[in-house]
Each structure stands twice: as structure tokens, then as C-alpha cells.
Amino acid sequence: MEKRRLYMDYAATTPVKPEVLEAMMPYYTTYFGNASSFHQFGREAKEGLDKGRAQVASLINADPREVYFTNGGSESDNWALEGTAFARRNKGNHIITSKIEHHAILHTCEYLEKVHGFEVTYLDVDADGKVDLEQLKRVISDNTILVSVMFANNEIGTIQPIKEITEIAHAHGALMHTDGVQACGNIPVDVKELGVDLMSMSGHKIYGPKGIGALYIKKGVKIHNFMHGGAQERKKRAGTENVPAIVGYGKAAEMAKNNMENHVRELTRLRDKLMYGLQERIPYTRINGHKTDRLPGTANVSFQFIEGEGILLLLDQAGIAGSSGSACTSGSLDPSHVLMALGLPHELAHGSLRLVVGDFTTEEDIDYVLETLPPIIARLRELSPLYQTYIKEHPEENK
């Protein structure tokens, strides 16, 4: 009998939906032209590119001319930060971000500090992962050129008050960037309502292909180019456009917009059943992230006395794919910087598990995890000296 395979890691990536793949295929074969060419083959490719741009723009209520395609969220983050920093260094050299950003932001800030002499302030977050707005008001100044705070966290799912943060940034003449990679396509996003100047996006988080993303640049905002060469993307991002991927991203964005209400409702229901079901069945379990202001599919829990690597290994043997944090840092033995920023002790941060449900997750999948995970945690705790010591010191809790 074939082992059950259950994917619960939709924040790391998503499968390409059949409709997306179907939309892409002709652009590998029939409409294969270079979108910059003037002949018929080029014009056909350009039509697909333009349609994809309009679909992505529609998802976030932007003008298509404000959407610039990149190879993914990390490039968009790098471009937003470096492009803004270099374009505005005559105004100041201060950048503000948060301690729970994706490493595409944190490492770019580190580079700007060490190599180019910019000053970066890293905002604290509360126990639920919300940015400290009062701290932001204290540290921002006329020397601040950019505030970059992610829309929704990729590990714990907490959603930030982006509109309020943007208002604070603009009151001091700073631009506002948000990493919207996890948010765009998973929750309603309206750049006009938010007022942000820049926003990073990615295709493979919303059932589109990998290797394609976008940077929203509000009309009138001037930043330096990140890629130099040809005149593609209105002379802002050189390189032959990946038309099949753009077409697929556009189709995925269109489907996400049309299915948004059902997507949010169903994933929230399944997530809560999973998250609170685990807390009910497994003692010494902590839910990480804001209880309500969080992405609909993201459940992140910490199990006291054990480490996440053991959980993932046994889950994988049971056919369940999860993670202990961001896929980009899965090779690291250090505890999650996000969970540490919440104030969790090392031992609790090490025992974290992220399970993320998606459009293909079923009720039966949730039931299978709720049946499978408690015995795994119990088995690991039996092997844990920390747990055995705790039991001896607190016999009244285990009667």
C-alpha cells in the first residue's frame, strides 16, 4: 500500500493549479516570441505579458503601469530597499524595518549597513508578533528615508497594521515598503487604501509558477534600477521577460481574486480546527502569532520539551510535509529569529512546527494530522530528559 502523502507547507510554495499550467503552455510553443520584438511573434508574446500584468495589478487594485516583474519576492525586496536607499541618500541614510522580516529584507539591510553606511533600526514586536507602533513613532525622524515592514509574516502568519505604519512613515517624509509575498492572493490587498509606495509579490505562493514575482512601485515614486541592460519593464528592470511565467502568474492572480472570499473562509476554518485541535490534544502547547490578525492558512505551534527537527522527521515518515519555519532557513540549526523576537525561550522556539493549509487541503487531511501528531509528540517527550525532569518536579500535573 502506498504511503499517504499530505502537503501542509503552503507558505513555502504551492502547486501550480491546472488552469495556470494550461494558460502557460502555449507560450512555450506557439507564442514563444520575445516580447520586445516588433514582428508578429513578438506581438503575440507581448499580448500575454500585458494581460498578465493587468491581472496582477487587478489583484492589488493597482494601475498595470505600477507593476514591474521580477524573478521573485527576494529580488523585489532587494530592489525596493537598495533602489530606495541609493535614490534617496541625499535626503537621509536611516532605514526602519522589523526584527521578524524575511531574510531577503534583513540581509539586504545588513548589506546596506556594512557596505554603504546606512543606519538601520529594527523594530521590536509584541508576544503576538505585532510591530511596536509607539517605538516606530519614537525612532522615526526627518533622516528616515524608508520604512519596510512585512504585510504578513511567513512563519507565524501575523498581519501588521500596514495602513497605520504607512501614515507614520509619510508624516516624516519617508517612503513605505511592505513585503506582501505571503499576503497578496491570500487576503484582500488594496494598495490605494493602504497608501504604500512599494510592495513585493511572488507567483509561487498563490498557485503560480516559481521564478516570477513583481514589485509594485506607486506612480511618481523614484527608485534606482536594480538590473541594468535592455529597456524591458519600462526601462526599470532589464532582461528578457519570462512570458510563460508571467502569463501563469497573471492567471493565478485572477483566480485568487475571484476565489478570495471562499479561500479566506475555508482556510481559516481548517486552520482553526487544526491549530486549536492540536492545543486541545497535546499538553504544553503554545500557539504562536496573533489569534485573529493572521493569514487564513497558517498554524504555528510550539511543543515544550522537544525539538522541531525530530517532529518533522517523524511527520515525514507518516507522509506529512510541514516545516519548523521559513523554507529559506531550513538548513539552519538556530532557533527561528521570528519566534525569538516574540520573546520565546530557546527551548520553546526550537520545538516549533509550522503547518500551513491551502486550497487543496481537505477535512480528512486535518483529521489525519490530529490523529498522527499527538502520538509523535508523546513519543519524543518520552525520550526527552527535559520532559522527564519536569514530570518528576511537577507530579501533580500528570495525575
Which tens digit of pLDDT belongs to each residue from 293-324? Answer: 999 999 999 999 998 999 999 999 999 999 98
Catalytic residue among 221, 314, 328, 391, which? 328
**Which residues are known binding-site members?**
73-74, 154, 182, 202-204, 240, 328
- The C-alpha cell 519548523 sits at 324
Q: Pairing state of beta strands 298-303 and 352-356?
A: antiparallel
Q: Specify the CATH class of 18-256 in words.
A: alpha beta
d(CA 114, CA 42): 43
Please indicate whether residue 184 is annotated as part of the active site.
no
**Which residues are known binding-site members for pyridoxal 5'-phosphate?**
73-74, 154, 182, 202-204, 240
Sequence ranges of the chain with CATH classification 3.90.1150.10: 6-12+260-397
Of 271, 256, 259, 164, residue with least CA distance to 201: 256
Sequence ranges of the chain with CATH classification 3.40.640.10: 18-256
**Which residues are known binding-site members for [2Fe-2S] cluster?**
328
Query: Tens of pLDDT along the chain (399 residues)?
Result: 567 899 999 999 999 999 999 999 999 999 999 999 999 999 999 999 999 999 999 999 999 999 999 999 999 999 999 999 999 999 999 999 999 999 999 999 999 999 999 999 999 999 999 999 999 999 999 999 999 999 999 999 999 999 999 999 999 999 999 999 999 999 999 999 999 999 999 999 999 999 999 999 999 999 999 999 999 999 999 999 999 999 999 999 999 999 999 999 999 999 999 999 999 999 999 999 999 999 999 999 999 999 899 999 999 999 999 998 644 444 556 789 999 999 999 889 989 999 999 999 999 999 999 999 999 999 999 999 888 888 888 877 765
What is the DSSP code (8-state) at residue 60? T
Q: Looking at domain 6-12+260-397, does it have CATH number 1.10.3720.10? A: no
CA 297 vs CA 150, 239, 252, 327: distances in Å: 17, 35, 17, 16
Supply the pTM of this predicted model: 0.95
